[in-house]
Amino acid sequence: MTQTTLPPVEKTQPKSAPHGTISDRSRAERKLGWMLAGPAFLVMLAVTAYPIAQAAYDSLFRYRLTDPDNRSFNGLSNYWVILSDNLWWTALGVTMLITVITVLVELVLGFALAMVMAKMLSSIRPVVRAAILIPYAVITVVSAFAWQFAFDIDTGFVNSWFAWIPGVSADTDWFGGQGTSLLVICLAEIWKTTPFISLLLLAGLAQVPEVLQEAAKVDGASWWQRLWKVTLPNMKAAIMVALLFRTLDAFRVFDSIFIMTNGANNTESVSFLAYRQTISRLEIGLGSAVSVLLFLCVVLLAGLFIKGFKVDLASARGEG
Amino acid sequence: MSRREKTWWIVAGVAILIYCLFPIAWIVSVSLKAPSDLTNGQFLPTNSTLVNYREILTGGSKDLFLPALRNSFGICLIATAISCLLAMFAAYAIARLDFPGKKLILSTALVVAIFPVISIVTPLFNVWRQIGLYDTWPGLIIPYLSLTLPISIWTMSAFFREIPWEMEQAAQVDGATTWQAFRKVIVPLAAPGVFTTAIIAFFIAWNDFIYGISLTSTDAARPVPAALGLFSGASQFENPTGPIAAAAVIVTIPVVVLVLLFQRRIVAGLTNGAVKG
């Protein structure tokens, strides 16, 4: 059985002027367009392009805020210091681990939630929809505290509730080691962001043509076959958008780590490393270099997604 | 639908409800525990008490919490208002006019949205100190625009695209002046989109932590999440868990109210901006 998708429907966008000659009207429209959208565009550039350029410049200097007189140009040696240090590679490893685990679990769980919500009785749908927005809307710091308190050896209830699981007892210190700390961090992240993914996937589900489902049913396809051959291929765009956004978002993980472990036991993420260098240690040069490296990682990831998976965000928005 | 199937869907719905509300219920429960009760190892307090709320609202920690609450509301509302205003013009141009650069603006918004916040903080930390914006409201409002503006542009242009703009001309043909057509026809059609966008932008600003802890040092500008993260109790011998939980509950109330009132719109806004066929 081959994948079944409907041919894309050609979008007809009204064109205000025929190609070739630029009329006065379209020139005026062009000018008005930029006059209206220009300020927003400039502000976006000012709050991101300028800082990252400044960071790239700062990263070339040996510069500590507590010792400003000794600021000196030292080329790429900050990058060399970072890339030859285990701290960076540990942080990168932790970040990638958290990203992969949370995004995979969120996709599967989010899809399950979306499937349930799609079929839900209309009488209870508003209640569930409101509930599902709550994890999304709650402050990450609050969610991190809730999960930390729950697993904490003193204030938590997890140890006494789950003592029947081998390895869990009254004195299990979840934040005493790297593995268990990361597990709780991942749980908190998954709880908070799965609802958002499920809403995106629910919107995608709604776009799967009912005709195809019915046709597959008539042809005797099982539920599982319909899921893999009809549903998933038809919502590929929604899945890819959710995947792209969440991956890049997860890669910036910071809040939960700050609250739960403060980077102890090798749970530092790349964002946390940059924060600690700049804000805590006042090493502007080194911190900037970490920031630039993190930025490059994100650009690389986004590039891989867009080229590798052929995510066409513009067409996903009907912009193509 | 058969009776059995119906029961099954209700069970699934209840499971989702528990999933979503359990950690919230837990933090509420912690906030109601007395200091001696915190380590009871149980989900619920033995005796509920409001002592933690008194501590942060009128007691020793009020100077830590209340200014932070004021800062958060002020900074987030101003940042939301500015980005909605800017986004309104941009979204109108994107939805309504035909000009080269539309795609550039939308892709820029996308790039800004996925930009690692910490990469913006590092240079700002240094520059803000030099030009006196460190630990001030504008010092947070400006970087908050990097969080709220891209999502506002995306969400609002998705909403504006669905507005039947021809109705404006129709009203004018029927004898309305340009101003009347705008006020009586376009504003009511566009308002829900603008409003929803504002809610989503506010959520995102309200959630910020990195800018809050990095670009402030006192209660002159420190927002709630940062104050919570750095909260260590009125004295060092006090366990801050209870007051933190109480403060966490208080800052969660506004978002829960917004969600309950506007859930349908928020869902439309979140999904319109990202997925649209």
Q: What is the pLDDT of residue B189?
A: 85
**Tokens (6 digits) for A185:** 């961090």
**pLDDT tens digits, A215-241:** 888 888 888 888 888 888 888 878 888
Candidate ranges A9-18, A157-166, B232-241; pick with highest mean pLDDT: A157-166
pLDDT for B75 beyond 90? yes
Calculate what percentage of chain B has a pLDDT beyond 90. Answer: 27
Which range has the worst mean pLDDT, A238-247, B1-10, B16-25? B1-10
Interface test with A, best of B22, B96, B118 (most A CBs within 10 A): B118
- Put simply, the answer to whether B43 touches A15 (Cβ < 8 Å) is no
Residues, chain A, total? 320
Residue B208, phi-psi category: left (phi > 0), alpha (psi -120 to 50), beta (remainder)? beta
Type of residue numbered A44: M
Higher-confidence residue of B102 and B60: namely B102
Residue A114 CA to residue A128 CA, distance in Å, equals 11
Average pLDDT over residues A11-28: 59
What confidence tens digit (pLDDT) does each residue in B108-117 have?
888 888 888 8
Neighbours of B64 (CB within 10 A): 21
DSSP three-state, residue B29: helix
Q: Cα-flanking dihedrals φ and ψ of residue A61, to 5°?
A: -115, 150
pLDDT at A99: 94
Quote the pLDDT of residue B277: 33
pLDDT digit string (tens) for A79-125?
Answer: 888 888 888 999 999 999 999 999 999 999 999 888 888 877 677 78
- A172 vs B205: CA distance, rounded Å: 36
Average pLDDT over residues B33-53: 83
Helix (H, G, I), strand (E, B) or coil at B221: coil
pLDDT at A9 > cutoff 60: no
- Spatial CB neighbours of A147, under 8 Å, sequence gap ≥ 6: A184, A187, A188, A191, A256, A260, B23
- Between residues 184 and 223 of chain B, which touch chain A (CB distance below 8 Å)? 203, 206-207, 209-210, 213-214
Q: Which two tokens stand for residue B261?
A: 């009132």
Q: Do B271 and A44 touch (CB under 8 A)?
A: no
What six digits make up the tokens of B168? 């404006």
The H or E element containing residue A240 is helix A236-250
Please tell me the predicted confidence (pLDDT) of residue B206: 92
Structure confidence by residue, pLDDT tens digits, B256-272: 998 888 888 888 888 77
Query: Which residues 100-139 in chain B show a CB within 8 A of chain A?
Result: 100-112, 114-127, 129
Phi, psi of A283 (to 5 degrees): -85, 85
Q: What is the pTM of this model?
A: 0.87
Interface check B245 vs A, CB under 8 A: yes
The nearest alpha carbon in chain A to B277 belongs to A318
Tell me what the pLDDT averaged over chain A comes to.
83
Query: Which residue of A17, A138, A278 is in closest CB contact with B24?
Result: A138
Work out the mean pLDDT of chain B and round it to a whole number: 85
Rounded distance, CA A308 to CA B189, Å? Answer: 40
Q: Name the percent of chain A in helix, strand, coil, to the closest 5.
A: 70, 0, 30
Predicted confidence at residue A311, as pLDDT, reads 58
pLDDT of residue A21: 57
Q: Helix, strand or coil for residue A169?
A: coil
pLDDT above 90 for B24: yes
pLDDT (0 to 100) of residue A312: 56
- Give A256: exposed, middle or buried? Use CB within 10 Å, 0-12, 13-18, 19+: buried
Residue B232 has pLDDT above 80, yes or no: no
Residues B157-179 have a mean pLDDT of 83
Cα–Cα distance list, B35 to A145, B31, B234, B240 (Å):
17, 10, 14, 9
| ipTM higher than threshold 0.85 | yes
pLDDT of residue A118: 82
Range list of H helices, chain B: 3-31, 51-57, 62-96, 102-113, 117-131, 137-161, 166-173, 178-180, 187-207, 210-214, 224-229, 241-274
pLDDT at B170 over 90: no
Question: CB A275 to CB B264 under 8 A?
Answer: no
- Among A33-37, A301-305, B60-64, the minimum mean pLDDT is found in B60-64
In order of A95, A246, A269, A309, A311, the CA distances from A303 in angstroms are: 18, 15, 21, 10, 10
Phi and psi at residue A73, to the nearest 5°? -70, 130
* pLDDT tops 60 at residue B130: yes
Closest among B93, B125, B120, B122 to B106, alpha carbons compared: B93
pLDDT at A19 over 70: no
pLDDT at B209: 92
Contact call for B21 and A275, based on CB within 8 A:
no
pLDDT at res. B95:
85
pLDDT on residue B238: 62
Name A73's bridge partners.
Answer: A61
B166 versus B152: the higher-pLDDT residue is B152
Cα A203 to Cα A126, A234, A235, B54, B231: the distances in Å are 15, 12, 9, 44, 40
Contact A112, B246 (CB under 8 A): no
Q: Cα dist. B227→A132, A263, B214 in Å?
A: 27, 19, 11
Which of the listed ranges A188-192, A250-254, B192-196 does the model predict with the highest average pLDDT?
A: A188-192
- With beta carbons under 8 A apart, name residues in chain B contacting A30: 99-100
pLDDT of the residue at B2: 75
Angle between helices B137-161 and B62-96 (to 10 degrees): 40
Q: Name, in order, each residue with C-beta under 8 angstroms of A92's C-beta and a sequence gap of 6 or more.
A: A270, A297
CA dihedral A274, A275, A277, A282 (to 10 degrees): 140
